[in-house]
A = this chain, B = another copy of it.
Amino acid sequence: MTIAVVGAGALGLYYGALLQRAGSNVRFLLRRDYEAIAAHGLQVYSTGGDFHLPTVSGARTPEEIGPVDLVLVGLKTFANDRFAELITPLLHGTTVILTLQNGLGNEEALAELFGADRVMGGVAYLCANRGEPGCVRHLGKGRVLLGEYGSSDTTRPERIAELFRAAGIDCRAVNDLSRARWEKLVWNIPFNGLSALTRCPVDRLLATEEGRTLVREIMLEVIAAANAQQLSRPIPDTYADDMLRFSASMGPYRPSMLIDREEGRPLELASIFDRPIERGRQRGVPMPRTAMLATCLHLMTGQAPQDA
């Protein structure tokens, strides 16, 4: 199977490397890491075992890659306006596009451009970051939930999940992609937002009673909005407590939005904040703390709120 990785940040490099190691023909669309990878290949430091890929197919343009069977989209969502330019050259008649991006609206944007039947979505729980050029550091976890977006072929998620599992990735297919996305938002909205706003890693957000209380209140707003979206089954409020317990073990983990801020990138506000808030509003679920957090992030960054 030929696979193109578009958006070769930590997530794209790590999963792409695992898929190549397992035998797939993987081609990476690169920018920052192009020269280092061309010269030295790709080095993966992982809690599951380090490895090195001496020969990696990197390209600077999608035209150099050409049509593939599967496009893995790991772009930061603030770059979604480049979908047409970056993905069109990668498509043949039956290419599947799998977005592993954060938040809401990514499948919809891909479907509008390329047709819904090509599009799948996935939710990645991955602690990884890019190291020096040519390296990626996997700090733990790595579960992926895959779901169908627009095809009536209900076996497709399971086939792709099997490909991922064969590469050593903890992966399973789910029948309700929307629910999986909202579940991840229960974590992403408070932790990404508050860490980017206050520059606190996860342990400092949870070090005080008032910090824990605020995180939990925001989680409950997200759960309430999620449960108004006709999910296959509701997310229980106890999920907030499960996530808090899980997060307490993460130590000084820096959520991706904090890293984006520290490295001077735009923040993924449209997909992680604006669209979820708008979906809640459409169903009559107010999210006052989430909305205040979004407003503060808009003010801090100068990024305007996006229409959903």
The residues of A with any CB-CB pair to B shorter than 8 Å are 194, 197-200, 204-205, 208, 210-211, 213-214, 288-289, 291-296, 298-300, 302, 304-305
Contacts and interface: CB of A to CB of B under 8 A. Distances in A.
A207 to B, nearest CB: 9
Contacts of A200: 299-300
Nearest to A305: B210
Contact of A205 (B198, B210, B213, B299): B299
Contact of A197 (B197, B214, B302): B197
A300 to B, nearest CB: 4
A300 B292 CA distance: 16
A194 B296 CA distance: 7
Contact of A304 (B197, B198, B208): B208
A295 B211 contact: yes
B292 A198 contact: no
Given A199-B300, A210-B298, A211-B298, 10 more contacts: A194-B296, A194-B299, A197-B300, A200-B299, A204-B302, A210-B305, A211-B299, A214-B296, A288-B289, A289-B292
A34 B102 CA distance: 55
A288 to B, nearest CB: 7
Contacts of A300: 197-200
A198 B299 contact: yes
Contact of A292 (B199, B292, B302): B292
Chain B CB count within 10 A is highest, among A294, A296, A300, for: A296
A88 to B, nearest CB: 35
A296 B198 contact: yes
A6 to B, nearest CB: 32
Q: 7 closest Cβ contacts across the A-B interface?
A: A198-B299, A198-B300, A210-B295, A214-B295, A200-B299, A198-B296, A211-B299
A24 B205 CA distance: 51
A80 B293 CA distance: 31
Nearest to A300: B198
B304 A214 contact: no
16 contacts: A194-B296, A197-B197, A197-B296, A197-B300, A198-B296, A199-B300, A200-B299, A200-B300, A204-B299, A208-B298, A208-B304, A210-B294, A211-B295, A214-B296, A288-B289, A292-B292
A229 B200 CA distance: 35
A264 B305 CA distance: 30
Contacts of A211: 295, 298-299
Contacts of A214: 292, 295-296
A296 B190 CA distance: 12
Nearest to A297: B198
Contacts of A299: 194, 198, 200, 204-205, 208, 211
A299 B191 CA distance: 12
A154 to B, nearest CB: 41
A255 to B, nearest CB: 14
A235 B289 CA distance: 26
